[in-house]
A and B are shown apart, each in its own frame.
Chain A
Amino acid sequence: MNMLVCVKQVPDTTEIKIDPVTNTLIRAGVPSILNPFDGYALEAAARIKDVDPSAKIVVLSMGPEQAKSVLKESLAIAADKAYLVSDRVFGGSDTLATSYTISESIKKVEELEGKFDIIFCGKQAIDGDTAQVGPEIAEHLGLPQVTYSLEAEVNGDTVKVKKEVGEGVEVIAVRMPCLLTFTKPAWDLRYPTIKRKIAANRAGIPTLTAADLTAIDRTRAGLKGSPTKVKKTFVPQKKSGGVKIREETSEASAKRLFGLLNEAGII
């Protein structure tokens, strides 16, 4: 069993504040973390390895040199091998260019690590929130996909995946090789052991650059390879002018609220 987990380093969006004067994002001092959904994906892979200790987990991230910290974290938690994909020419990539670059990197890593049976991704990264890169990697590689996965269990040459749907949980069988994207399951990511932490810190993490990806079509990577362009960004306007209700008693507050909603024709 050969598994790949794609991870991304993201700013902790719960820590992002808006500068009240300039009305822009304050990114300084915001901690960088392993994208939580990628953590669930890593844990799902680790659970397969718990059952089959001969299984291998490789992690891959595309990003700047600093992204090695989430790769080290992944090594400490469960991964056996890590690769960073990093090159200036990949800067400014939208999801199509990113997924193309990652899929080319996966092909390269497969030359070294063998073909992957399952590729795990988070359903989305909490900075961009697009949920596109996972399915697009699957498309580039011609793999079937299951999105919104909660758990995965290997059964012969298929994977049994629990997928979150509106009415509950769907159990889906998908033949390997395949790509799964994970949403938040009932469990959390395991903690690394001290031993694994020390080993992860010492581990060498190879970097794949554009020059290493000999088959890559550079016109399809980076800003040039990105069909979407950001025209502008802005901070959402806060709604104002809401009615505050704070009467002497709860009963009076409740009745006033009902009266206002009823008058406005809302209920």
Chain B
Amino acid sequence: MEAKTKDLWVFIETNEDGTAKSVGQELMTPGRMIAEKQGGSLVAVVIGNKVDEAVMAAVFHGADKIIVVEGPEYQHYSTDAYSIALTALIKKYGPTSLLIGATNNGRDLGPRVSCRLKTGLTADCTALDVDAETGNVAWTRPAFGGNLMATILCPDHRPQIGTVRPGVFKKADANESRTAEIIREDIHVDAADIRTRVLELIKDVDSESVDLEGAEIIVSGGRGVGGPEGFAPVKALAEALGATVGASRAAVDSGWISHAHQVGQTGKTVGPKLYIACGISGAIQHLAGMSGSDCIVAINKDPEAPIFDIADYGVVGNLFEILPILTEEVRKAKA
């Protein structure tokens, strides 16, 4: 389809309680830069049920305009309802570009919508810019398990769409004096058109605390923790820091901790302010999931471990001796 405006849209994914997931606000930051270079407005698209809080957050974080679709059918994410609503909005308004957070739901929705519109989609971007020559969005993403980066353009199809990893961009400080135009669109989806039904949610025993994508600090354990009980000092440090516990694939595959904690290519992609890797050697698949962290601390007894190549602070030593002392220092400082 043809674009009708030069606007850039950010899809704001909502939680069931009507608040926004952090990644939508993060995407306002590169969204603003792209919208300015492409000469359009920054528009936030909020779909959900009773989403006033998410709408206001979008205003405060810099949207010029907010398009809101509300209804009980959007309270819980479904591929069908969300792709119907988002496609209808795109057809009506014709944005030039669209950013979607690369969460599980974003990666479920993006290809459905781009395919329906027969346009291009670039997945899991970690850097965004505008191509100086053509004015198209330059989408940069890792491939081959993080061994290679590729910059992708979508020159002849609109909108140009990309999913962007959570945690890569930082959200701007909320400015509560901002105002923005709010447009409400009445789009309803019949229950019969939603072809999936959630029967139940089996919560992980410890899943309440496993919000890796939204975490500011993550303390992760790998093969070096040696066993399920080896996670005790990792968890103790996490608790002292108010951090979330992560894990490498090796630790998860060994059954020492649940998959909900896994960071890396087959787990979560994270971008906390601080990532502390304990006993993690740093396979490229793990690095692919956490190298976007602001500050990386590695604690490992092998001085040759590849994790040290990307660490801001690398401690060579025994994590079972180092972690308790570090935990104690943190507790003292916070007391």
Contacts and interface: CB of A to CB of B under 8 A. Distances in A.
Q: Do they bind each other?
A: yes
Nearest to A26: B147
A246 B326 CA distance: 15
B326 A257 contact: yes
Interface string B288-301: 00010001110000
Give chain B's interface residue range (CB within 8 Å of chain A).
35 or more
Nearest to B138: A231
A188 B234 CA distance: 28
A228 B198 contact: no
Interface string A166-182: 11111111110010000
B56 to A, nearest CB: 24
Given A14-B283, A127-B143, A173 B197 contact: yes
B154 interface: yes
Contacts of B285: 13-14
A257 B203 contact: no
Interface in A215-267: 226-236, 238-240, 242-246, 250-251, 253-255, 257-258, 260-262, 264, 266-267
A28 interface: no
Contacts, number: 256
B2 interface: no
Contact of B266 (A11, A147, A170, A183): A183
Contacts of B322: 250, 253-254, 257
B173 interface: no
Interface stretch (B26-34, B57-65, B182-190, B207-215): B207-215
Given A25-B147, A169-B201, A227 B330 contact: no
Contacts of A240: 309
A267 B210 CA distance: 20
A180 to B, nearest CB: 11
Chain A at the B interface: mostly helix, strand, loop or mixed?
A: mixed
Give chain A's interface residue range (CB within 8 Å of chain B).
35 or more
Chain B at the A interface: mostly helix, strand, loop or mixed?
A: mixed
Given A232-B150, A246-B315, A258-B326, A147 B202 contact: no
Contact of A230 (B121, B151, B202, B204): B151
A229 B155 contact: yes
B325 interface: yes
Interface in B249-265: 259-260, 265
11 contacts: A127-B145, A129-B124, A170-B201, A174-B196, A227-B156, A228-B152, A235-B147, A239-B311, A242-B313, A253-B317, A254-B323
- Ranked nearest first, the 9 interchain pairs of A and B with the lowest CB-CB distance are A227-B120, A250-B321, A13-B145, A144-B195, A254-B325, A228-B120, A135-B111, A139-B115, A227-B157
Given A261-B313, A267-B217, 17 more contacts: A139-B112, A170-B202, A173-B196, A227-B154, A229-B153, A232-B151, A233-B143, A236-B148, A239-B309, A242-B313, A243-B314, A244-B308, A251-B321, A257-B313, A261-B274, A262-B333, A266-B274
